[in-house]
Amino acid sequence: MDQQEAVDSIAKDQRLRLKRMTWGFGSQVSTWLVIAGLYLFGMIPGLPIAIYFLLILAANLVFVALIQSNINLRFKDPSLTAAQIITPIWPAVFVMFFVADPQARTAFLLAATSGMMFGSFVLTRRGMLSVGAFILTSYLALLTALHLFAPERMDWRVELIIVFTYASVLLTVAYLGSYIASIRLKLKEKNRELAELAACDPLTQLPNRRSLMSQLTQEVARVERRSADEHELCVSMLDVDHFKRINDTWGHDAGDAILCRISNELRKIMRQGDFLGRFGGEEFIVILPESTLEAAQRTAERIQDCVASLAFPELPDGERITVSQGLAIYQPGERIETTLKRADEALYIAKENGRNQIIVSDIPERT
């Protein structure tokens, strides 16, 4: 992934986080409707409501600013999930202090519970329990304040029942939410493993043909965007010489071991940004982005020297392995399959001419 792709990926994630913030507004809207109803029924004065909305507006603006400025990326959870869940709690506690009816205050608790469910996206069980404990502690702090400053607004008999019931609900929600989060993480990990299997050759652990074609498509798109230089993408198709003889003489297990050894050694000498994969059988492809013909030839020569210097315990002493290569330069506007065909034709010529050599494909004339 180049720098521009990394920037684009971060921007995409940030847009998703802002979108999730709008989803979180849904749970806050329910609280706003409750407050509006209490005001219309004369159960709460207007000043606490105004203060509540100012606090909520300020908190949401802070979260938006943190994401738009990328400051949120410095935190362990860039989505600031727990912070967004618990921040509206204290403004709600402030408003609840002015509500005289204990049953009416339970509406705020229900709204807080729905907001807590957003934690199931990322929070662990410990995180969910911590958020639940914060909500319950905040409500207990409210009851303490009511007992000290406005005892006429509370009935301890009702409050004890509410606290016990709500603690049970929070515990259930925390466990269910964390269970959902764990399932999501397992599915995400399983999907990642399946994607790796789909893109990886099981023998050599190199990218397979499907992954190679995907990478080539991406590299072609980059070349077309940077059309100032016609020779920015080279492809080397290489083939292990006399591989059928190796399998027939020393067995397929020896052949597999040799392919794995070659794969591991070639991986070590690849330039950062180059892409090595198994095309099929004993054929490999090396994708050389942002490479001149001369630089590509030097890489091909390193490959030749690397393989030729290897000693294989599966073979008799003195037996060496070589590779042949066909090198082609992508021409802007052509199909990548055409580039691969030219590399394959050059590889065929290399093998016909005696193997253990590099042949560069002719650049097609433009019409």
Same domain, 26 and 143: yes
Torsion-angle region of 332 (φ positive above 0: left; ψ -120 to 50: alpha; else: beta): beta
Same domain, 132 and 228: no
Rg (CA), the chain: 32
pLDDT along the chain (367 residues), means of 10: 64 82 73 85 89 90 89 86 86 87 78 75 79 88 91 84 85 80 79 80 90 89 66 89 94 95 94 91 94 91 95 89 95 90 96 95 69
Q: Is the pTM of this model over 0.95?
A: no
Same domain, 185 and 231: no
Same domain, 217 and 169: no
* The last residue of a domain, from among 133, 168, 198: 198
Residue type, 344: D
Residue 163 within any structural domain of the chain: yes
Residue 327 within any structural domain of the chain: yes
* The last residue of a domain, from among 198, 219, 244: 198
Same domain, 137 and 17: yes
Residue 366 within any structural domain of the chain: no
Residue 67 within any structural domain of the chain: yes
For position 221, what pLDDT does the model report? 84
Task: Retrieve residue 300's tokens.
Answer: 């091909």
For position 226, what pLDDT does the model report? 65
Same domain, 161 and 270: no
Same domain, 113 and 246: no
Residue 204 within any structural domain of the chain: no
Same domain, 93 and 12: yes
Tell me how many domains the chain contains. 2
Closest CA to 353 of 324, 333, 327: 324
CATH number at residue 354: 3.30.70.270
For position 231, what pLDDT does the model report? 56
For position 241, what pLDDT does the model report? 96
Buried b (16+ CB within 10 A) or exposed e, 238-267: bbbbebeebbeebeeebbebbbebbbeebe
Same domain, 147 and 254: no
Q: Please give the residue range of the domain that contains residue 99.
A: 3-198
For position 345, what pLDDT does the model report? 95
Residue 352 within any structural domain of the chain: yes
Same domain, 126 and 35: yes
E strand residue ranges, 230-307: 233-240, 275-280, 283-289
Same domain, 263 and 135: no
* The last residue of a domain, from among 175, 198, 221: 198
Residue 367 within any structural domain of the chain: no
Residue 365 within any structural domain of the chain: no
Same domain, 191 and 216: no
For position 195, what pLDDT does the model report? 77
For position 333, what pLDDT does the model report? 83
